[in-house]
Homo-oligomer: A and B are copies of this chain.
Amino acid sequence: MKEPIRIGIVGYGNLGRGVEQAVRQNPDLELAAVFTRRPPDQIHSQAQVLPVEKSWDFRDKIDVMVLCGSSANDLPEQGPLFASQFNTVDSYDLHARIPEYFERIDAAAKEGGNLSLIAAGWDPGLFSLARVLFNSILPKGKTYTFWGKGVSQGHSVAVRRLPGVKQAVQYTVPVPETIERIRKGETPELTAREQHQRICYVVPESGADRAAIETAIKTMPGYFADYDTTVYFITEEEFAASHTGMPHGGFVITTGTTGGGYRQQAELRLELANNPEFTGSVLAACARAVYRLRREGKTGACTMFDLPVGYLSPQSPEELRAKML
């Protein structure tokens, strides 16, 4: 048995917990420590929990640090800082800012002689791989990405901020008729409204004006105005019983035409009962790939586009060829 790959986790929210659970499912990975900005005794991890300032002492004890902070608030600062000291994996997901973030991480990681994988997960991540794979094979094609059914944190927060709203969750749901059209091979231009619908479950404050809340949601620019939105008012009990899970998923579908005029279709579909646990599982597999690529001498920033798929697996190339090809 080879020595396990030593993993560190920075930030212990839903994603950090998901990474810990994933590491425990993989015998070739070992959780060395969790680092947090909260008081360590408030963190219920099976690993040792330390204040984030202690992480520098672990430079020789951790092979890959998985950064589980938020893309908006934590990673812009944490990412480059840790990339200068450790091999890292993160799930940076602000699509528009990825090129700029990549450059900053690349400089920091190269300076430290480390390898840093950014924007890992399922979108960006697996869905990005599917978009590139399908488009590379079917250059005369059209690709659609559908998200859901799943919770959108940004939209949920926007609803919760409205006056009279005590608690709320927003589900993004692909429009079933549209998916059916796309799967049949149609390649229409789609408006936002045709592609996704939005469903809100709202617990109102007692005495709140429900009609006003519903109107405020449905007309909210940027978030809801361009979609068909349905609002359900429910009790706190219903909310607690049915709407605290974190399901998500979606589809990437490419329909293309090859030279003889034949229609070819490829689809990647994910149906996730728990989004952060699945994302954590992707990050754990990516940590394995980063460890291997670094051992080959690669440094700087990279994305899942740069990973040979076999590097994500605990199996050797020989095993993969014999059993999985």
Chain A residues near B (Cβ < 8 Å) = 18, 20-22, 24-26, 95, 98-99, 102, 119, 124, 126, 128-129, 131-133, 135-140, 258-260, 262-274, 277-278, 280-282, 285, 288, 303-310, 312-315, 317-318, 320-322, 324-325
- Decide: A325 and B274 in contact? CB cutoff 8 A: no
Asked whether A260 and B21 contact (CB < 8 A) given A268-B268, A281-B137, the answer is yes
Contact A303 B325, beta carbon cutoff 8 Å: yes
Closest to A23 in B: B259
User: How close is A225's CB to chain B, nearest CB, in angstroms?
Assistant: 26
CA distance A99 to B315 in the complex (A): 15
Q: Which residue in chain B gives the minimum CB-CB distance to A305?
A: B310
Contact of A308 among B24, B306, B314, B322 (CB under 8 A): B306
Q: Is the CB of A321 within 8 A of B99?
A: yes
Can you offer 9 A-B residue contacts whose CB atoms are under 8 A? A22-B259, A24-B259, A25-B258, A25-B259, A126-B137, A132-B320, A262-B272, A267-B268, A305-B313
Q: How many copies does the complex hold?
A: 2
Picked from B264, B280, B282, the residue with its CB within 8 Å of the CB of A274 is B264
Q: Are the CB atoms of B317 and A306 closer together than 8 Å?
A: yes
Residues of B within 8 A of A265 (CB): 269-272
**A272–B263 alpha-carbon span in the complex (Å):** 7
- Complex CA distance for A258 and B264, rounded to whole angstroms: 33
**A277/B306 in contact, CB under 8 A:** no
A268 adjacent to B266 (CB under 8 Å): yes
Whether B313 contacts A304 by the Cβ 8 Å rule is no
Contact of A305 among B138, B266, B303, B325 (CB under 8 A): B325
A266 and B270: CB pair below 8 A? yes
Closest B residue to A253 by beta carbon equals B269
Residues of B contacting A303 with CB < 8 Å? Answer: 310, 320-321, 325
Which chain B residues border A312 with CB–CB below 8 Å? Answer: 132-133, 136-137
The answer to whether B269 and A313 touch across the interface, beta carbons within 8 angstroms, is: no
Whether A258 contacts B270 in the complex (CB less than 8 A), given A131-B324, A132-B324, comes out as no
> Are the CB atoms of A139 and B271 closer together than 8 Å?
no
How long is the Cα–Cα vector from A139 to B282 in the complex, in angstroms?
A: 11
Q: Chain B residues with Cβ under 8 A from A262's Cβ?
A: 272-274, 277-278
- Complex contact A136–B285 (CB within 8 A): yes
Selected contact of A132 from candidates B102, B272, B309, B322, CB within 8 Å: B309
Residues of B within 8 A of A139 (CB): 25-26, 314
Instruction: Give Cα distance in the complex from A280 to B281, angstroms.
Output: 33
Q: Which residues of B contact A274 (CB under 8 A)?
A: 258, 260, 262, 264
The chain B residue sitting closest to A93, CB to CB, is B325
A258 close to B278 (CB less than 8 A): yes
Residue with the greatest number of chain B CB neighbours at <10 A, chosen from A25, A258, A314: A258
Contact: A102 with B321, CB < 8 Å?
A: yes
Which B residues lie within 8 Å of A317 (CB)?
A: 305-306
Does the CB pair A269–B269 fall under 8 Å?
Answer: yes
CB distance from A325 to the nearest CB of B (A): 5
Min C-beta distance of A99 to chain B, whole Å: 5
State in angstroms the CA–CA spacing of A263 and B18 once bound together: 13
